[in-house]
């Protein structure tokens, strides 16, 4: 699932119309009768963003001169990101040979290698000079992660900015992304159980809380999705990929006006329509991820029927009838989940994906609720297993199985998250 940018100005605030960042991939304006911008779900490129002059991160990288962002000893802003030469990264990878290749994203290709210099396995992202993300995103990533220090954020070990080469060096996350374990499950991989899913949700929420409430200045992530949640030993989750991060509003500001960028299916509708970015935009994205963890479904899945393609659109009518909650749970769990815990998790997800941003909870309340949920372990040997059938692996089989009610009714609970 790719990222997108809506063309045209946001309704509020002015943008810096720098022609150097207007990509030749620009798409025609696409507006409905009300004048609102439509998001094209098939647009899988990220255009270079023209940023608000009030965005401090953008001001820091406005000249796109990385030399101004690093000190002579190779550190960024006095923090721990080390500067590597291209030679130091090219030699261990055998000039980025295929057997070191891990995958590819919007930034470019990712390689795994052991760096003798630091005696550590690392993941190296090499910027694709013809790709959809550029030097601006590279510098924002370096600056954001160099200032961050939290167990639920991926650690940036260093970077390379030599000539036209741009590389990022991260700690290696051996279990890959949440997307791998939830949507691209290989035959040798086990289905994530309920306890692990709640552990991942709680950890991701804590990482987001750090960005919103602990970092100075506070950061809006803007790209929360399953593929950006990496997993370490014991399924310890860490947020990654901060190229789209924005400094959040402060003082009397209620939002940041910016070009709309993100991933279709995860982007908050209010942000997509107005270009007004708030911390609650991240909350919506988190709610979609939590729904994915509960249901096992993708945010957008074109292998399903038109009514079920969009996860949020499919889920909203089901939230109105708790007797249908059991139809929402991932059938691959085979009934091994707590009914009360399911109701509480769905309540949190429902609040996070409210259409009105002021109705969504703040991240601190989400963390409190999910810490509680993840601390109550479900044991199928002790607790009852809900009536369920194994789901076939094919999309059609999943659709047929989703139509069955996989669990009986249970006690209704409410989870209150005040804004």
What positions carry a catalytic annotation? 223
Number of neighbours of residue 78 by Cβ within 10 angstroms: 9
Does 199 appear as a known binding residue?
A: no
Q: Are 314 and 396 in contact (CB under 8 A)?
A: no
Separation in Å, CA 245 to CA 70, 162, 383, 400: 19, 24, 42, 40
Tokens linked to 158: 């260093």
> What 3-state DSSP class applies to 300?
strand
Q: Which of 46, 33, 45, 55 is nearest to 277 (CA)?
A: 55
> What 3-state DSSP class applies to 228?
helix
Q: Distance of alpha carbon 319 from its chain centroid, rounded?
A: 23
Separation in Å, CA 280 to CA 53, 263, 375: 22, 16, 25
Q: Are 324 and 402 in contact (CB under 8 A)?
A: no
Return the H-helix or E-strand segment holding 267: none
Cis omega (within 30 of 0) for bond into 197: no
Distance CA 19, CA 225 (A): 30
Binding-site members for ATP are 125
């Amino acid at each position: 699932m790719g990222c997108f940018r809506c063309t045209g100005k946001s309704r509020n605030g002015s943008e810096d119309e720098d022609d150097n960042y207007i990509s030749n991939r620009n798409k025609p304006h696409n507006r409905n009768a009300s004048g609102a911008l439509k998001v094209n779900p098939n647009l899988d490129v990220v255009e270079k963003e023209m940023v608000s002059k009030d965005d401090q991160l953008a001001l820091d990288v406005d000249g796109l001169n990385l030399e101004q962002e690093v000190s002579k000893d190779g550190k960024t802003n006095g923090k721990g990101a080390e500067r590597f030469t291209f030679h130091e990264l090219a030699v261990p990878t055998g000039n980025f040979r295929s057997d070191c290749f891990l995958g590819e994203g919007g930034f470019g290709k990712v390689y795994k290698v052991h760096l003798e210099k630091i005696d550590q396995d690392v993941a190296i992202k090499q910027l694709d000079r013809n790709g959809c993300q550029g030097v601006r995103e590279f510098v924002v990533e370096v600056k954001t992660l160099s200032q961050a220090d939290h167990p639920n954020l991926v650690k940036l070990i260093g970077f390379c900015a030599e000539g036209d080469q741009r590389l990022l060096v991260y700690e290696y996350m051996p279990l890959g992304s949440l997307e791998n374990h939830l949507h691209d499950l290989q035959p040798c991989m086990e289905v994530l159980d309920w306890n692990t899913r709640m552990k991942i949700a709680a950890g991701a929420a804590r990482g987001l809380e750090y960005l919103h409430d602990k970092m100075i200045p506070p950061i809006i992530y803007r790209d929360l999705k399953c593929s950006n949640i990496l997993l370490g030993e014991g399924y310890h989750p860490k947020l990654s990929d901060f190229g789209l991060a924005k400094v959040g509003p402060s003082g009397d500001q209620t939002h940041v006006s910016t070009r709309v960028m993100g991933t279709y299916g995860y982007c908050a509708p209010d942000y997509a329509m107005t270009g007004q970015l708030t911390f609650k935009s991240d909350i919506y994205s988190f709610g979609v991820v939590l729904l994915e963890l509960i249901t096992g479904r993708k945010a957008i899945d074109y292998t399903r029927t038109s009514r079920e393609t969009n996860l949020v659109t499919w889920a909203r009518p089901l939230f109105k009838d708790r007797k249908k909650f059991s139809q929402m749970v991932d059938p691959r769990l085979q009934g091994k989940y707590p009914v009360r815990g399911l109701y509480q998790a769905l309540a949190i997800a429902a609040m996070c994906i409210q259409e009105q941003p002021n109705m969504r909870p703040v991240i601190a309340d989400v963390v409190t609720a999910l810490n509680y949920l993840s601390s109550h372990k479900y044991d199928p040997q002790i607790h009852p297993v809900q009536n369920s059938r194994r789901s076939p692996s094919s999309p059609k089989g999943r659709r047929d199985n989703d139509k069955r009610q996989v669990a009986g009714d249970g006690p209704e609970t409410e989870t209150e998250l005040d804004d």
